[in-house]
A and B are shown apart, each in its own frame.
Chain A
Amino acid sequence: MTEGLRSFRSLPARDRAGGRPGTHLLKERFRTVAGILFVVLACGVTAYADRTASAAADGLDRHPLYSKYEFRKNSRTIYFGSQPLAAPSGLIFEVMKHDAILRQDLKKRGYEIVFYPFFKGPDINYFFKRGEIDLATGGDMPCLVLAATSEVTIAGIIKLGDASIVTTNQYRQLSDLRGKRIGFPEGTTAQYGLLIALEAAGMKESDVQMVTMEVQDLPQALAARRIDAFSAWEPIPSLALAKDKNLVTINSFLNTSFIYFRSRLVREQPEVAEILMASYLRGLRWMKKSDRNLTTAARWNIKAAEQLQGRPFTPSPDIIKAITAHDILRHAAAPFIPEGEFRENGFMRRAFEFLLKKGKLPPSASWQQVLKSLDNSLMKKVLADPVKYHLDTFRYE
């Protein structure tokens, strides 16, 4: 072979290449260089992806707030994650946090509950998937993604409302934002709802400039015109509209939020799940009972949000109250999962298909698994015995 190679090399390049002098050598060299570049690129991409992924993962683990969360690996502590910056999720979260009866009932049974606030649903779900969060509230899209890929028990709704696309009043419809910058929190109802709205308007994701931002930064970014619009859940849009009269909501889309449990908790510790569900239902009844209670809850929410984001959370209590009243309190008597939305042509079914098409769900995502996660029985059970679960007894501290 060496001989052949040597004799081959001794041939003029023209003979070797069968064409112009040096062509063969050039091709060889090109292939080699291209191959090396490809390998390097692939490694780089992989490393970058890994790094990004790990960065993302590492990012939440190293999140300045989340990194301080302690998750004790025992079954006697219940970790409850929610979003103070969402309404009414954050409000319900604060109400349950102040529910003395909840603590008392859990303590009787040797449990305690820890409330951890998060900025957005995917953040909660990150820890939920790791088995560190036992109870959570979150938007429909993150919940859908979680239910399609993990074991979760969706026990009821905490919101039947809207999320909105807010922009300046020079734009009148979504198609006016073609080429513009739209901010949104990654992986949330706000993002997926924006994608659905774009699809419905006959636009592609590439028709606009998608800018990922934290939800709490959206109003300021729009005010500073760092973005031309944002998609967010309440109360962020109401907060922005209240501050700037030049802003308008050009689109709103359905935004349902759910309360969901780690399935193992429901399965292995049903009484804890019932206590937690009772606290939720109790809170709804307490807020619905009087405007003062609702106002108190709203203030708890605002304070918690300010603590979370480290700066004033400026929606007025009235905005929080109005949202809460509209989105959940009118369903307080029976905040069951709207099964119609999970039927064949229901909104959630269509949203699942949409996310699958857009690659926001892995191809292995199962709709059957989503359906399996729906369970109204826990709520029914609690509602069926209001005395046992102290649904009408209130002690908030």
Chain B
Amino acid sequence: MNDRLTGMPDNRKRRVPATIRTRMTVVLSVSILVVFSAMILVNIFGLPFGLYRGEYRSREEDAVGRLSLFADDLKRQVTSWFGERQSDARAFSENSRNIATINSLIRRYRAGGVTPGKMADEFRDLAEQIGMIRSVYSIYDAIDIVDPASGDVVLSTDEQRCCKEAPYGKQLSGLLRGGPERMFFSADGNQSSPHLNICHLVSGDGKTGRTDKAIAAVVFRIPVTDMADQLLSPSRALGLSGEVVLIDMERLILSPLRHHLPEGGSASPLAYRLETEEARYAAWGIAGAMYSTDYRGIPVLAAVRHLRLAPDFGIGMIVKQDRSEIMAPVYRSIFSPVFIMLAGLSLVVVTLYTVTAKLLRPLEDLSNTATRIGKGDLSARCSIGGTDEIGILSASFNSMADRFQSRHQEMEAEILRRTEAMSESEQKYRTLFEQAGDYILILEPIERKVLIIADANEAACAIHGYARDELLGMPITAIDEGLDEDSMRELTGRALAGETLRFETMHSKKDGTRFPVEVCSRLVEAKQGRPFFLSIERDITSRRQAEEEKGRLQDQLMQAQKMEAVGILAGGVAHDFNNILSAIVGYGSLLHLKMTDGDPLLQYVDHILASTERASELTKSLLAFSRKQVAELHPLNLNECLFRFHKIMARMVGEDIDCRLNLCGETLIVSADRGQLEQVLMNLATNARDAMPGGGRLQIGTERETVETDRGDITRGSYAVVSVSDSGSGMDDATREHIFEPFYTTKEVGKGTGLGLAIVHGIVRKHNGFIHVYSEPGGGTTFRIWLPLLPTTEIEQIPPEQAPLPRGTEVLLLVEDDAGTRQVARHLLEEYGYTVLEAVDGEDAVRMFRENSARVQLVLCDVIMPRRNGRQTYEELKRIQPDVRVIFMSGYPADIISQRGILEENVRILSKPLNPTELLTEIRDALAAGGR
């Protein structure tokens, strides 16, 4: 499970929620535990500030008091005991009779020559007395009378000691200053038999109290062990660990230790020094109670006393007991309450658990029901009945659950509806977003410095060549080359200000390809107020291309319109001019016919006809340029056509130009008008000749070429390519760009009309072909003409050599509104045997035909006439005679005539000016074709 705040995995252990029963049990148990524990602790340790002493302290204080009382009591006993011992010695030593006897004794001893036995004999009474005292007071193991001068025992209860130096003699001699009474301990050189020595000096003058003349010292000796036994017997009342230790002022023990030493070994009186705190206390003469650690290292409570038994003699007394023994009752007293407490606690817990189980079962049921509802089972209800508080609570809960369930269902339905609507809307807008043809980017500004792509639709991903994941998060500058930091900041600022941005820029694809886009971007604010930019972009490559094409087409249109205007003008001029030429050509032809070969005026007529021929060619050129000249497309063997025209072209370019033909071996069938094709070749040859005034080479070739894909203006397909190459002066780029424009020429005025290549271009386009020029100054020029190949191999039959002009005798109806043309035509026809009826217009023609329908074999009719044009006249004539044969004449091309709806297609039309040969041949053909 993740932490709700950080989103990181939550590794903490989940606590199980505690039930009321558990809580009650825990709380009560803890309370009992705490209260009882507190009570026990307070009972044992008391309260601070002296509010309550507690057993521990009471026990301690009782122990201190008890030990102190014991110590004080024992101190009194010991002091009294010592006092009694001193009294014993004093009583003996201050007895006047004893004093006298002792004086004698000492004087006798000092006189010398005595033995212990002898002394005892001589002073039998005294010996018996000290013997009796010893017997009566069994505490004394010896009573000595010592000569202080020599330090010898003069008389003793122990005869073996007599007349020998007292083992304590040195200690005794040091004590003779001061008062008559002394007490001291001596080891006598044998640590196993230390003694307490009660000493009283005997004055030499028999007077008590004067110690300046002590003559003897009476020493009552008590073994220290006996002394300890007598003094310390009450210590048994101190318990198993209790002990009384007597020490001297140098901390040497005066009584055996009750316990073993931790280091082993024995502690002999007057041989072992206590190094404990209480011993130091006692050695300083300090009395008091204290906690310390005794010689065993065990914590004890000690009462220390100093016993000043004589002005110059004191001992220390340590009454101690182990703390553990003192506090044992306290510790024992803990267990019972603890046991009772634990037992009681267990009972309470069990009872509580049982009772709460019963009491809380309804609440558990309620809780379970609530849990089930919480988990989604809205049908769950509490089964508790009754009229008590729990029952009422249960009923209220169920009622609440009912309302909740109902409301939940309503909400679910509403949520579902809204979710569906939202989903639909989301889907719709997602679809719009993803499937929009335009590229849609959602950009997020980062501190107004960087625009990050937050989202992109499929089109945007596809056009840029990135996957969506790659685009998301990418800065816009990665794909938009036109944006730098300054411009982006500026645009961002304007967009954030609410302005809708429209601009064009260059984008780059993943493969590095660049393409122009048009951008429309505006600010969109997200829910948390974060700004986003909706950027709709469109690849304007085709538009730019279209605009360029449009520009080019507009240029072409302008050019075409210009050319059309020129063409219209030329066409109009050509038409009228043709009529005029027709008269000139007709009459000139008649004159030529009437003249003999030797007629000197014949050359003038030849010139007139040649001029009219040239004029006619000119009009034809104009008409061809304006595309008014009708192209009659037929399958044509290109190679054969070129082969045949090659000789004519050679004669035309002259002998100084090497005209060569390089035809491919394949049969190239194109749909073409032979005459126009030849005109193209002728114009190209003419230009080549003009480009090689000093001679050169002209090569014409063919080849097959298949264009797989559109190449510039050359569409895909199979083509026959005609190439016309010369070795002339060539053209520069500026010239090459304009060569196909009408009236564009580099020649001198009068040397060319500037229409030749325009006508070539027009013819090639009329043939659905393409023409390209390749030239460089001084490098010659090559024209390449692509003509679509036909799949057929139908070959146009080459018409035979022209036979003599046909003649006839039929009756022809000539309909021509132009008198001159009508006359010329009539004269020509009549010359060749025809009978000609004349009509000046269409009305007249109809009248005439109606009158002569049986005679008339053929009608020659002008197309453009007033009152009734040629078509109308033809329709009328067909009503008169459905199979009437008609040949139309016009200065306009046939396609123009058909476009204007004047004539149907496929009717016979002769172009003006009328060519007699064509006229007579066509008439003959029409008459031969049948019909009327």
Task: Determine if A376 is an interface residue (Cβ-Cβ < 8 Å).
Answer: yes
User: Which stretch, A32-40, A196-204, A307-315, A360-368, touches the partner chain B?
Assistant: A196-204
Q: How far is the CA of A254 from the CA of B179 in the complex (A)?
A: 20
Within 8 A of B (CB), among A144-175: 157, 160, 162, 165, 169-170, 172-175
B286:A200 contact, CB within 8 angstroms: yes
Residues of chain A with a CB closer than 8 A to B895's CB: none
A251:B288 contact, CB within 8 angstroms: yes
Q: Which residue of A lies closest to B279 (CB)?
A: A200
A347:B249 contact, CB within 8 angstroms: yes
Residues of chain B with a CB closer than 8 A to A376's CB: 177-178
Q: How far is the CA of A180 from the CA of B681 in the complex (A)?
A: 141
Within 8 A of B (CB), among A333-351: 333-341, 345-347, 350
Q: Assuming A252-B288, A331-B311, is B177 touching A172 (CB within 8 A)?
A: no
Residues of chain A with a CB closer than 8 A to B629's CB: none
B286:A252 contact, CB within 8 angstroms: yes
Residues of chain A with a CB closer than 8 A to B175's CB: 340
Q: Assuming A160-B311, A201-B277, A334-B209, is B249 touching A346 (CB within 8 A)?
A: yes
Residues of chain B with a CB closer than 8 A to A347's CB: 249, 284-285, 314
Task: Determine if B210 is an interface residue (Cβ-Cβ < 8 Å).
Answer: yes
Residues of chain B with a CB closer than 8 A to A335's CB: 311
Task: Determine if B250 is an interface residue (Cβ-Cβ < 8 Å).
Answer: yes
Task: Determine if B280 is an interface residue (Cβ-Cβ < 8 Å).
Answer: yes
Task: Determine if B211 is an interface residue (Cβ-Cβ < 8 Å).
Answer: yes
A250:B288 contact, CB within 8 angstroms: yes
Task: Determine if A356 is an interface residue (Cβ-Cβ < 8 Å).
Answer: no
Nearest CB on A from B703, distance (A)? 99
Q: How far is the CA of A197 from the CA of B290 in the complex (A)?
A: 12
The total of chain A residues at the interface (CB under 8 A) is 40
A383:B289 contact, CB within 8 angstroms: no
A380:B288 contact, CB within 8 angstroms: no
Q: How far is the CA of A186 from the CA of B695 in the complex (A)?
A: 155
Task: Determine if B312 is an interface residue (Cβ-Cβ < 8 Å).
Answer: yes
Within 8 A of A (CB), among B296-325: 306, 308, 310-314
A173:B291 contact, CB within 8 angstroms: yes
Q: How far is the CA of A120 from the CA of B285 in the complex (A)?
A: 22
Task: Determine if B224 is an interface residue (Cβ-Cβ < 8 Å).
Answer: no
The listed residue with most A CB atoms (<10 A of its CB), out of B281, B291, B308, is: B308
Residues of chain A with a CB closer than 8 A to B410's CB: none
Residues of chain B with a CB closer than 8 A to A380's CB: 210-212
Q: How far is the CA of A249 from the CA of B211 in the complex (A)?
A: 39
Task: Determine if B576 is an interface residue (Cβ-Cβ < 8 Å).
Answer: no
Residues of chain A with a CB closer than 8 A to B308's CB: 160, 254
Residues of chain B with a CB closer than 8 A to A338's CB: 178, 310-312
Residues of chain A with a CB closer than 8 A to B310's CB: 338
Q: Which residue of B lies closest to A253 (CB)?
A: B286
Residues of chain A with a CB closer than 8 A to B250's CB: 345
Task: Determine if A384 is an interface residue (Cβ-Cβ < 8 Å).
Answer: yes
Residues of chain A with a CB closer than 8 A to B289's CB: 172-173, 250
Q: How far is the CA of A249 from the CA of B71 in the complex (A)?
A: 14
Q: How far is the CA of A383 from the CA of B181 in the complex (A)?
A: 15
Q: Which residue of A lies closest to B181 (CB)?
A: A334
- Which of B177, B178, B284 has a CB less than 8 Å from the CB of A253? B284
The listed residue with most A CB atoms (<10 A of its CB), out of B60, B280, B285, B308, is: B285
Q: Which residue of B lies closest to A173 (CB)?
A: B290
B281:A200 contact, CB within 8 angstroms: yes
A251:B249 contact, CB within 8 angstroms: no
Task: Determine if B61 is an interface residue (Cβ-Cβ < 8 Å).
Answer: yes
Residues of chain A with a CB closer than 8 A to B682's CB: none
Task: Determine if B216 is an interface residue (Cβ-Cβ < 8 Å).
Answer: no
Task: Determine if B64 is an interface residue (Cβ-Cβ < 8 Å).
Answer: yes
Residues of chain B with a CB closer than 8 A to A253's CB: 284-287
A174:B211 contact, CB within 8 angstroms: no
Q: Assuming A200-B286, A339-B312, A347-B249, is B60 touching A172 (CB within 8 A)?
A: yes
Task: Determine if B780 is an interface residue (Cβ-Cβ < 8 Å).
Answer: no
Q: Which residue of B lies closest to A334 (CB)?
A: B179
Q: How far is the CA of A197 from the CA of B308 in the complex (A)?
A: 18
Residues of chain B with a CB closer than 8 A to A173's CB: 288-291
Nearest CB on B from A362, distance (A)? 23
B284:A333 contact, CB within 8 angstroms: no
Q: Assuming A337-B178, A384-B212, is B286 touching A196 (CB within 8 A)?
A: yes
Known: A162-B287, A334-B181, A383-B210. 18 other contacts (CB 8 A): A172-B289, A173-B288, A174-B290, A197-B281, A197-B286, A249-B288, A250-B288, A250-B289, A252-B286, A253-B284, A254-B286, A336-B179, A336-B311, A340-B175, A341-B312, A347-B249, A376-B177, A380-B211
A-B contact pairs, 24 of them (CB 8 A): A165-B288, A169-B61, A170-B50, A172-B60, A173-B288, A173-B290, A175-B290, A200-B286, A201-B277, A202-B277, A250-B289, A252-B306, A253-B286, A254-B286, A254-B308, A254-B314, A334-B181, A335-B311, A338-B178, A339-B312, A340-B175, A346-B249, A380-B212, A384-B212
Interface residues of B (CB under 8 A from A): 50, 60-61, 64, 175, 177-181, 209-212, 249-250, 277, 280-281, 284-291, 306, 308, 310-314
